[in-house]
Amino acid sequence: MGIRGTLKTMSVSDLLQFLASGRKTGTLKLGLGSIVKHIYLEVGLIVGSSSNDPKEYLGQVLLHYGKIEEAQLQTAMEIQRQSGGKLGVILAARGFVTQEDVVEVLRTRTLEIIYDLFIWEEAHFEFFDNEPPPKDLIRIQVEVTSVIMDGIYRIDEWARYRTVIPSARTFFELIPGWTQSLNASQETRQILFHVEKRMTAAEICYNMHTSLFHACALLFDLVKEDIIRVAGEAPEPTPEVSTDLSALKLPVPELLKLARAEIKENNAENALAIIHSALEQEAKNTEAHRLREEAEKKFVAQIFQGGLSPHALPRILVPPEQLEHERLGPQEGFVLSRINGESDIESILAVCPFREADSLRMIKKLFDSGIIGTK
């Protein structure tokens, strides 16, 4: 018997406890906005997970834990594009990681995917009873009880972090003299490097290939230890809407009808804006997700057919002081940080923790604004 609802009517902890105590086998699907996560269970045990959040892709998690380098991920992604196959298998076959590393990181990723759910508030969920996990799933085993206890702990910790770090747009500065007595770990040194560059919490999260929760935990401790302090909050980036605003207020069926028409007219970017609006209303709408995949593929093809080569080597054209005045969001800042005149666009897309179409749209915007160019 399947169940469905929202996290306002049934919390993540109650939901997982219900599935574990009933020794359920099946797939738990949760959606928030455009993000969709799946938790796979067998006889009440969690055996795996999947997520369409690019920050939770296997490659990004392997980067965070230092198992691979960005150049190795680029190589493996190129092989995957040309020949297909599972990324973990490709990385292991090339000798970049061991199979044990892959399984260990998959287990950690599953925990992080679930822990992230505990700070979701308005997500929809649906449990598909007796639906088997994907055939190519690399199985792990996670006890639900320990996950629930850790998840509840994270809810309390998240509330503490928010008293100091009000949003992902918060940025920081070093307190003078911090280096005199600090015996810092490599991870702490890394985060201090990003703080010194005035990155926001979100930018630090992307650059460290980690979750916002973990980044905020590190930043919170450094604030409490008087090593850094909150310096301000970056302004909200101006939203880009490439279609009639009145159209975005339509019901979901009308929005999807409009998106299909835009796709048919080869207006993929307009279609994506409309589909995003539809997903904000109905995060788990199957047709909206299918249309997004179709529109994204068309958008990527149009960009590359329009003269921007995947093998182009972009470089930054403006001086650093000018960049400080550009209203770039944290995602655009991450993309910009990967532009070094040596990596081509295809390689940059491989390491960005965002959907390919989103990353490419940001690169196009940087080109159009004259911030970057090609050799």
- Within this chain, do residues 169 and 223 fall inside the same structural domain, yes or no? yes
What pLDDT is attached to residue 177? 72
What DSSP assignment string belongs to 83-123? H---HHHHHHHTTSS-HHHHHHHHHHHHHHHHHHHTT--S-
Of 269, 288, 305, at which residue does a domain stop? 305
Domain assignment of residue 83, yes or no: yes
Assess whether 172 and 207 both reside in one domain: yes
Q: How many other CB atoms are there within 10 angstroms of residue 274's CB atom?
A: 30
* Residue 267 within a domain: yes
143 and 12 housed in the same domain: yes
> Is 147 within a domain?
yes
Domain containing residue 227: CATH number: 1.10.10.10
| Cα–Cα dist 260/266, whole Å | 10
Among 120, 152, 184, which residue terminates a domain? 152
Domain check: are 13 and 145 in the same one? yes
Asked if residue 265 and residue 189 are part of one domain, the reply reads no
Same domain, 84 and 22: yes
Using CA atoms, how far apart are residues 209 and 65, in angstroms rounded to an integer?
Answer: 9
Same domain, 112 and 30: yes
**Statement to judge: residues 49 and 129 lie in one domain:** yes
Residues 229 and 124 in one domain: no
Burial class (CB in 10 A: 0-12, 13-18, 19+), 24: buried
Q: In the chain, how many domains are there?
A: 4
What is the structure's pLDDT at 157? 93
Q: How far apart are CA 91 and CA 85, in angstroms?
A: 11
Per-residue pLDDT, 27: 93
Is 137 inside a domain boundary? yes
The answer to whether residues 50 and 141 belong to one domain is yes
Domain membership of residue 240 (yes or no) is no
Mark which of 152, 177, 195 sits at the end of a domain.
Answer: 152
Q: What residues have CB less than 8 Å from 93, skipping those under 6 apart? A: none
Nearest to 203 by CA among 296, 97, 313, 323: 323
Asked if residue 159 belongs to a domain, the reply is no
Question: 90 and 197 in one domain?
Answer: no
Q: What is the pLDDT of residue 86?
A: 82
Tell me which residue range forms the domain holding 290: 245-305
Mean pLDDT by 10 residues, the chain (375 residues): 83 91 92 84 90 82 86 86 83 90 85 85 87 81 87 90 93 80 77 89 86 91 93 71 52 90 91 85 80 92 88 86 68 82 85 85 88 84
Residues 71 and 181 in one domain: no
